[in-house]
Chains A and B, each alone.
Chain A
Amino acid sequence: MSIELVCPAGTPSALRAAVDAGAHSVYCGFRDETNARNFPGLNFSPEELTEGVRYAHARGAKVLVAINTFAKAGAFDPWKKALENAEKSGADAVILADLAVLDHAARNHPALRLHLSVQAAAATPEAIEFYQQTFGVKRIVLPRVLSVEEIATLNAAVSVETEAFVFGGLCPMTEGRCSLSSYVTGRSPNLSGVCSPPEHVAYEEGPGGTATKLAGYTIDRVAKGAPAGYPTLCKGSFVAEGKTSHLFEDPVSLNASTLIAALARAGVTALKIEGRQRGKGYVAEVVRTFRAAVEAIEAGRDEVEVERMLAGLVEGGRQTSGAYKKTWR
């Protein structure tokens, strides 16, 4: 059993930090709408990617390039160029979601290793088989709707590698199938590579406390002076049937660190840490901790001991193991 740790690199310095901290692989994207973390101040130019690949390869780590948005109609060039630049950089794989991008890559870049992004939401053996047979996809990043038991069953039924998120931001909605952000702001992960984008965020002081707003809609409200979170739409507080609650998801992040061994037993090839928007200090700490945990599990050490190693990791705020445990549903 050998678990690959796939770590986020929003910037060249985060890439170096992740590699130095023991990442087996890092994933990153170009500085444009071709990747799903299209935020200002993040991402790589083609030259920076080439340099990053050189740095990672020299230290035995792989680089995976996320080109995981849906190409805009009539404007395919950025996605074509991203595939070309990824191949030229010597990256080890590209992570794709759009049928058009997959089709183009399979036809024109036969040497590129293709991974299927979580944004493609392939959650069944049939969908996975379709991507594998049609485009030669080698790995599927699993949608965050499956329990560990279901992942084990799925892995028994498919011959591709699977990769599962273990830490960081968490979408309660099926990724790649959510237009909540564009409904409110006009921009969404599928259309623009962003969710609940910062230019629509406002914090308003009022008699009831601080309201966090997205495009004028109140997404949550906290007592005056209390820390107000970022108004990600699906983590907001809403009213239904007279009941006020975090209806879709609490303001939590994913932490499946206690499930590493279970996920490995379920046949998962790689564990993925979310957080390309995070700084290099955070990335280094999380990667170092997970690498030690993964090695401890591979060495057959006690799982309780491993859990203790990871207990210090908090992303800030509350955490959940999400869909991996059936009760989440």
Chain B
Amino acid sequence: MTDIALSLGPVFFNWSPDRLRDFYARIADEADVDRVFVGEVVCGKRMPFNDPVWPDVVERLTQAGKTVILSTLALPSNIRDRKAVKALCEGGASIEINDLTAMPAMGAAPFAVGPFVNVYNEGAASFLANRGANLICLPVELPLSSVGTIARACPDVTFEVFAFGRLPLAVSGRCYHARLHGLHKDSCQFICDRDPDGLPVDTLDGQDFLAINGIQTLSHSLQVWSPSPEEAANLGVRSLRLSPHTLDMVAVSALYRRLCRGEASPQETRAKLRELPLPGALVDGFTRGIAGAAKAAS
């Protein structure tokens, strides 16, 4: 049986340069993950602040033996964003595309595909594989039955499933942090930096519901997919993606590593995760082909 790899996804939130530096230093030193996706994927306006951080972060992670992949914007919205995507794709590093804007610049180079690209079937997966995709993190709403069908049809591609974290549910041309605070996107004052795990959105009846992060809308709850090694292998899933939050991601990755090695059961893993200060409940409905907000088993 092939080992299940662990990936740390890109940070969705507007973390300060210092926070990013400290976070990745600890990941490099202590987190048992195989791959780390770094870079800004949500809002190009944040890039001038955080861009200076990445060379050091990449070097530190690489020296620690991690595979580092540069993740690109999910919704490049102006010429500056487009230039940033192009420069990254042509820069020779390993790249994850999150929008087909990146395709022309990738040329014949291999690339990873993030969950923002619509790969809903084996035809789309093999199309991208023929163009150089070697790793595909599938869209979050895709049920495992579809994941299995796609993965079995494209054995040369590493398929990754979004296994931990608030679910990225939507992106928009509009910035919701700005709208909530009576500002416009163009003069947003970068207030999304106040909510390092996203800003909770409740229903009128006070029920936890969603979280906003600039132009992005996430679930309030956290996705948890905690398969046994056999279940993942049977589906053809070779990698799990853990999405960064402010809680102890070293601890989260350690729990998933034990799970992937068969040293902890799915149930035990979920129980241990629930002991951490999670920003929301654990859900797994998408994996089961039902409402994504359906609670995960105990």
- Contact partner of B204 (CB less than 8 A), chosen from A122, A146, A211, A329, is A211
A50 on the B face (CB < 8 A): no
- Contact partner of B124 (CB less than 8 A), chosen from A98, A179, A218, is A98
Q: Contact between A190 and B127 (Cβ–Cβ < 8 Å)? A: no
A124: B residues at CB distance < 8 A: 76, 82, 99, 101
Assuming A174-B75, A186-B291, A238-B202, is B174 touching A70 (CB within 8 A)? Answer: no
A144: B residues at CB distance < 8 A: 173
CA distance A124 to B98 in the complex (A): 13
Interface of B is mostly: mixed
Q: Contact between A177 and B171 (Cβ–Cβ < 8 Å)? A: yes
Interface of A is mostly: mixed
A10 on the B face (CB < 8 A): no
B11 on the A face (CB < 8 A): no
Q: How far is the CB of A265 from chain B (nearest CB, A)?
A: 21
B249 on the A face (CB < 8 A): no
Assuming A123-B77, A238-B210, is B105 touching A177 (CB within 8 A)? Answer: no
A241: B residues at CB distance < 8 A: 180, 199
- Contact partner of B170 (CB less than 8 A), chosen from A74, A180, A185, A328, is A180
CA distance A112 to B82 in the complex (A): 31
A129: B residues at CB distance < 8 A: 104
Q: How far is the CB of A208 from chain B (nearest CB, A)?
A: 8
Q: Contact between B176 and A123 (Cβ–Cβ < 8 Å)? A: no
B21: A residues at CB distance < 8 A: none
Nearest chain B residue, comparing its CB with the CB of A147: B173
Q: Contact between A103 and B127 (Cβ–Cβ < 8 Å)? A: yes
Which residues A71-97 have CB closer than 8 A to chain B?
71-74, 76, 97
What's the interface size class on B, roughly? Answer: 35 or more
Q: Contact between A145 and B180 (Cβ–Cβ < 8 Å)? A: no
- Tally the A-B contacts, defined by beta carbons under 8 Å: 212
Instruction: Convert A120-155 into 0s and 1s, putting 1 for each residue whose CB lies closer than 8 angstroms to a CB of B.
Output: 111111110111000000000001111000100000
Q: Contact between A173 and B140 (Cβ–Cβ < 8 Å)? A: no
Pick out which of these stretches binds chain A: B23-31, B48-56, B113-121, B240-248: B113-121
B292: A residues at CB distance < 8 A: 179, 182-184, 186
A329: B residues at CB distance < 8 A: 173-175, 178, 184-186
B77: A residues at CB distance < 8 A: 123, 145
Instruction: Convert B175-209 into 0s and 1s, putting 1 for each residue whose CB lies closer than 8 angstroms to a CB of A.
Output: 11011100011100000000000011111111101
Q: Contact between A98 and B121 (Cβ–Cβ < 8 Å)? A: yes
- Contact partner of A327 (CB less than 8 A), chosen from B128, B184, B201, is B184
A188 on the B face (CB < 8 A): yes
A126: B residues at CB distance < 8 A: 82, 85-86, 100-105
Q: How far is the CB of B170 from chain A (nearest CB, A)?
A: 4
Q: How far is the CB of A238 from chain B (nearest CB, A)?
A: 5
B164 on the A face (CB < 8 A): no
B163 on the A face (CB < 8 A): no
CA distance A234 to B86 in the complex (A): 32
B67 on the A face (CB < 8 A): no
B207: A residues at CB distance < 8 A: 217-218
Pick out which of these stretches binds chain B: A23-31, A243-251, A274-282, A298-306: A243-251
Q: Contact between B123 and A103 (Cβ–Cβ < 8 Å)? A: yes
B146: A residues at CB distance < 8 A: 72-74
Q: Contact between A240 and B212 (Cβ–Cβ < 8 Å)? A: yes
B141: A residues at CB distance < 8 A: 179, 182-183, 188, 190-191
A130-B104, A191-B141 are known; give 11 further A-B pairs, CB within 8 A.
A73-B120, A100-B122, A100-B127, A103-B127, A126-B103, A145-B173, A146-B173, A182-B292, A183-B169, A239-B201, A329-B184
Q: Would you mind naming 16 contact pairs between A and B with Cβ atoms under 8 Å apart?
A: A70-B118, A97-B118, A100-B124, A100-B127, A124-B82, A126-B105, A130-B101, A173-B171, A179-B141, A182-B286, A184-B293, A188-B141, A211-B204, A239-B203, A240-B200, A326-B184
B residues apposed to A, CB below 8 Å: 74-78, 82, 85-86, 99-105, 116, 118-124, 127-128, 139-142, 145-147, 149-150, 153, 167, 169-176, 178-180, 184-186, 199-207, 209-210, 212, 217, 219, 285-286, 289-293
